[in-house]
Chains A and B, each alone.
Chain A
């Protein structure tokens, strides 16, 4: 059974710092990995999607990397801003047979201090 772990569970940093969020998964047989942000009481907003054949994806100040063989992904946030405060979720879609859908980590709760 696929398990997704996110470290740290919570992180508080001053504004302007660069930071890295970590995601690991136990089964490397994945189609892709998706990073989301979730604001309190809201739905999930997709940030980046990395296919299994890709090593990284970039969108603005965000960069996500994927090392499928080691079961790891990182989300790098450059020049953090208070508006980046949210919970960040990592999710993988398995390849091969079995149920579709994403397997989620429990998230990293990020606070950017002004």
Chain B
């Protein structure tokens, strides 16, 4: 039981490049989330999903897109990376709104 895993762990992009971050969970959770963590800002919600095939915007969705084609996977895409997207990205999941949220180990992204 690996819990929540994220791929890759580190990435450096040039401004304007695109990439996809992959989150996978093996706990059969319905809800999945993407957050970013920045110094002095705390963790902020980017997008989330309440089930396979659904996505919704969080607090800071601009510049990101997501997809949840399979229940166990939640993908975060950056179409045209900007230096302001330099951050640590965390994926999380939980069974439902009254349950604990479990986090992955994070992806450290640098955009130059």
Seen from chain A, the residues whose Cβ lies within 8 Å of a Cβ on chain B are 31-32, 34, 36, 42-46, 49, 51, 89, 91, 93, 99-107
List residues of chain A with CB within 8 A of the CB of B33: 100-102
Contact A32 B31 (CB under 8 A): no
Interchain CA distance A91-B37 in the complex, whole Å: 14
With contact pairs A44-B90, A89-B43, A106-B40 given, residues A100 and B48 touching in the complex (Cβ less than 8 Å): yes
With contact pairs A42-B106, A43-B106, A107-B42 given, residues A102 and B101 touching in the complex (Cβ less than 8 Å): yes
Q: Chain A's nearest CB lies how many Å from the CB of B76?
A: 14
Q: From DSSP, what is the main secondary structure of chain A's interface residues?
A: strand
Mark the stretch among B13-21, B53-61, B66-74 that contacts chain A: B53-61
Q: Is B62 an interface residue (CB 8 A)?
A: no
Contact A99 B56 (CB under 8 A): yes
List residues of chain B with CB within 8 A of the CB of A103: 45
Interface size on B, residues (CB 8 A): 28
Contact A102 B45 (CB under 8 A): yes
Contact B105 A51 (CB under 8 A): no
Contact B103 A43 (CB under 8 A): yes
Contact A106 B50 (CB under 8 A): no
The 10 closest A-B pairs by CB, nearest first: A101-B45, A44-B103, A104-B43, A43-B105, A106-B42, A43-B103, A104-B42, A49-B100, A46-B100, A101-B48
Give A36's nearest chain B residue, CB to CB.
B103
List residues of chain A with CB within 8 A of the CB of B4: 43
List residues of chain A with CB within 8 A of the CB of B56: 99-100
Contact B50 A100 (CB under 8 A): yes
Q: Chain A's nearest CB lies how many Å from the CB of B109?
A: 14
